Amino acid sequence: EEKAAELALTSRYKSEFLANMSHELRTPLNSILILGQQLAENPDTNLSPRQVEFAKTIHAAGTDLLHLISDILDLSKIESGTVTVDSEEISFAHLRENLERSFRHDAERRNLEFSVDVAPELGRSLSTDPKRLQQILKNLLSNALKFTEDGSVRLKARPATSGWTPGHVILDKAPMVVAFEVSDTGIGISPEKQRIVFEAFQQADAGTSRKYGGTGLGLAISREIAGLLGGELKLTSAVGEGSTFILYLPLNYVGADSAHEARAQAAMPMPTALPQTSSQPFEQVPDDRTSILPGDPSLLVIEDDPRYATILRDLARSSGFKVLVAHRGAEGLRLVREYRPTAITLDVFLPDMLGWTVLARLKQDSDTRHIPVQIVTVEEERHQSIERGAFSYLAKPADTESIEAALERIKQYALPRVKRLLIVEDDPAERMSIEELIRHDDISIDTVGSGAEALDALQNSNYDCVVLDLRLPDMTGFELLDKLQDQPQLRDVPVVVFTGKDLSAAEDARLKKAAKSVVIKGVESPERLLDETALFLHRVIGDLPPAKRQMVQRLHESDDALKEKRVLVVDDDVRNIFALSSVLERHGMDVVTAGNGQEAVDKVAADRDIALVLMDIMMPGMDGYDTMRAIREDPDSRALPIVALTAKAMKGDREKCLEAGASDYLAKPVVTDQLLGVLRQWLHR
C-alpha cells in the first residue's frame, strides 16, 4: 500500500511537471509561430522570396516542434494513467466520412488507391472514445500513405473472432470484437524491426525515416491507447510487399477498470456485470438516435439534468418528434453535425460551456445557422436570446402546458414553409433595392410605406422579421418601435433597422435604448442587412443564390466584426503581447494591454469601450482565474466576453476557466485563424 501511494504521488508529480514544462515550452513557441506566419504572409510586401521562404521554414519547424511536444505529453499522460476514456457512441458512417475527408485528398495527390470499408455485420455504431480511436486510425493511415510509393492503402472494419493475443482479458470475453485493418502495398517492415517500431522514438531505419520524416512516437502512442480502450494493436509485414496493422477493439467499450487490468495483462476473470465507465458522470438518457429516419422531424435536447431531459424527451415524443439528448455542449454540437436535427432546445447552464457559446457556434456556422433554437433560461435573458438569433426562449422551470405549446410552435416553424418579411419604407427606390437584395423563393415580402400601415399589418398577421427605415411620413421609426414595445405579442418580432446613412449621436443613443426592449439591429451595409435578416428568418444559407451566399460568407470572414473594436490583451510575457497585438492590429483592432491581473481589472473598470478580453491563465501572482473572477464581480462586466488562453495540458482546465467566468477558451499556442474565428464569433453580434 505504501509503495502504491508513493507511486501515485510520483506519477502525479510527473504529470504536473510535464504539464508545466509543456506550458513553458509552448509560451515561446507561441511567438515563433505567430510571428513566423505573419512574416511569411509578407503583408507589407517588403521581403524577398528567399526571406519569405525562411519565414515559412521557421513556421514549419515551430509546428513540428509543437507536434513533438504534444506527442511527448500525450504519451507520458497515458503512461502515468492520468488519461480518462470518454466513451460515447460513434457511428461507422460518421467515422468513415471523417477518415475519407482527412485522407482522400492526400491519396489522390500521391496517386494511391484509397478505400474505407465497413462490414455491414458490424451494425450501425460502436461505443468507444471517438477522439482516441481516430487518433490511432489517423496515425496508421498517415504512416501507410507515407511509406507507400504506389499501389493502395485500405482500411477495412470487420467483426473478428481471433487474431489478438490469446488470453487477452477483455477481447476474449467481449461479445463482439471489431478489427480495423489498415493495409498498404508500401516498403514493409523487416521481422526484426517489427517489435521495435512500437517503442518510443524508434524508427525501422533511421536512414529511411529521415527521408520520410516523423518523430517515431506515433506507434508507441497508438499501442498505449489501444490498451487503454481495451484492445490491442497487431502488425504483419513483409519487406517490399507492404504492411498490415490491425487494431482489435471490443465493439462496446467496457470501462476504465477493466482496461487497466488488460494493460497489466493480469489473467483475472472478467466480472460478469460491466463496470460503469468512470468518465461518464451523467446518466445518459436513452433517446431515438438509432431509429431516426431521413425526413423525421427531430429535436435535439441539450440539457445536463437527466430528469429534465427525460421530461422534455417524453413531451417532444408525444408532439411527434424523434428526440436526441446531449448532456454537454460539445456533445450537442457533435450531434448537430451528425444528425442535422429539425430544431434544438438548449439549456444555458451546461457543465462544459455556456449555452450562449453553443448558440454562438451554431449561428456562426452557415450549415447550422437556420436550425431554430429554443433557449431555456430565465426571463431576464429573453431579450438577449432573441437578439443572438435564438428562435424563442422558455423560462425555467416551465410547466407542461408551456413546454408543449413551445414545442408545437417550434415544430410548426420548422415545417417547410415560406417565411414572411415586412419592409417598412416609403421611398420607392430604396424599397425596390431592399426587396431585390433579400428576395428569393424562401421568403414572401410585404411592403408598407407608413408607420400606421406597418402597425396594422403587424397586428393582423404574423411576420417573422421586419426591416424598418427610421424616416417615415407619419411617425418616426422610433415612435413605431415604442408602439411595438407596448404590445407583448409584438415585442419579440425581430426588427432590423436599415439606415443607409450614418446616424447622429442622438439617434444612435436612442436606437441603443430602444434595442434594450425591442429586438432590433441597426445596420448600415447591404451585406449586414442580408445577413441579419437571414439570421432572424432562419434562412438556409446553402440554399441562397450563389451571389448572395458569397455575400454572407464574405461578411463572416471579413474583418468587419473586428474593426475598431477595443481588445484588452492580458499576459505577463511581453513577447506574447507583442505577437498577439501585431496580429490583432493588422486586422484593424484597437489593442490595449495589461501585464498582470490587477492592471487588467483596473483597466476593465476604467474603460467601458473594451469589447473583449484575451486572458492568459498562467501569470505570476494573481493568475488568470483570479483575474476573471475579480472582473466578473463588477455587475457591469458580467457580459463582457473574456477569452482564456492556456496550455491544454492539465485535465479540467477548460472547466476551470468557464467556472472562473471565461466566455470561451483557446489552447496555446494560438493558431491565428482560430483566434480570429473566436473573436469574430464574440464580436459579430
Nearest CA among 345, 349, 283, 348 for reference residue 315: 345
641-646-648-650 Cα dihedral, nearest 10 degrees: -110
214 binds ligand ADP (CB under 6 A): yes
Quick note: the x/- pattern for ligand ADP over 243-262, rule CB under 6 A, is x-------------------
Q: Which is nearer to ligand ADP, 214 or 351 (CB)?
A: 214
Return d(Cα 252, Cα 272) in angstroms, integer.
Answer: 15
Among 18, 19, 95, 204, binds ligand ADP (CB under 6 A): 204
226 binds ligand ADP (CB under 6 A): no
Q: Cis peptide leading into 669, omega within 30 of 0?
A: yes
Q: CA–CA distance from 202 to each of 6, 199, 215, 681 (Å)? A: 31, 6, 8, 43
| Residues of this chain, 146-185, that bind ligand ADP according to CB under 6 A | 147, 184
Name the helix (H) or strand (E) containing 597: helix 597-606
Q: CB of residue 193 vs ligand ADP: minimum separation in angstroms?
A: 7
Q: CB of residue 140 vs ligand ADP: minimum separation in angstroms?
A: 7
Q: CB of residue 62 vs ligand ADP: minimum separation in angstroms?
A: 18
Helix ranges restricted to H, 376-415 = 382-387, 400-414
Tell me the torsion sign for CA atoms 467, 468, 472, 475.
Answer: positive
Q: With CB under 6 A as the contact rule, which of the stretches 49-57, 116-124, 210-218, 438-446 interacts with ligand ADP?
A: 210-218
Among 36, 130, 218, 597, binds ligand ADP (CB under 6 A): 218
Q: Report the side by side order of strands in the sheet with 566-570.
A: 590-594, 566-570, 610-616, 642-647, 664-668
Return d(Cα 459, Cα 490) in angstroms, integer.
Answer: 8
Among 144, 455, 467, 520, binds ligand ADP (CB under 6 A): 144
Among 98, 215, 450, 582, binds ligand ADP (CB under 6 A): 215
Helix, strand, or coil (residue 559): coil
Q: CB of residue 33 vs ligand ADP: minimum separation in angstroms?
A: 21
Q: Helix 2-41 crosses helix 49-79 at what angle (to 10 degrees)? A: 170
128 binds ligand ADP (CB under 6 A): no
Instruction: Read off the DSSP letter of residue 546.
Output: H
Task: Tell me the site size for ligand ADP, rule CB under 6 A.
Answer: 21
Q: With CB under 6 A as the contact rule, which of the stretches 141-149, 274-282, 413-421, 541-549 interacts with ligand ADP?
A: 141-149
Strand partners, 377: 395
- The pairing of strands 88-91 and 125-128 is antiparallel
Q: CA–CA distance from 239 to each of 163, 321, 335 (Å)? A: 21, 56, 43
Q: With CB under 6 A as the contact rule, which of the stretches 19-27, 213-221, 314-322, 643-651 interacts with ligand ADP?
A: 213-221
Q: Which residue is nearest to ligand ADP (CB)?
A: 214
Measure CA 587 to chain center.
Answer: 23
Q: With CB under 6 A as the contact rule, which of the stretches 25-33, 203-211, 389-397, 532-540 interacts with ligand ADP?
A: 203-211
Q: Which is nearer to ligand ADP, 7 or 61 (CB)?
A: 61
Q: Which is nearer to ligand ADP, 17 or 212 (CB)?
A: 212
209 binds ligand ADP (CB under 6 A): yes
Measure CA 425 to chain center.
Answer: 40
Q: Which is nearer to ligand ADP, 22 or 244 (CB)?
A: 244
Helix, strand, or coil (residue 232): strand
Q: CB of residue 40 vs ligand ADP: minimum separation in angstroms?
A: 25
Among 78, 85, 170, 189, binds ligand ADP (CB under 6 A): 189
Binding region for ligand ADP (CB under 6 A): 139, 143-144, 147, 184, 186-189, 197, 203-204, 209, 214-220, 243
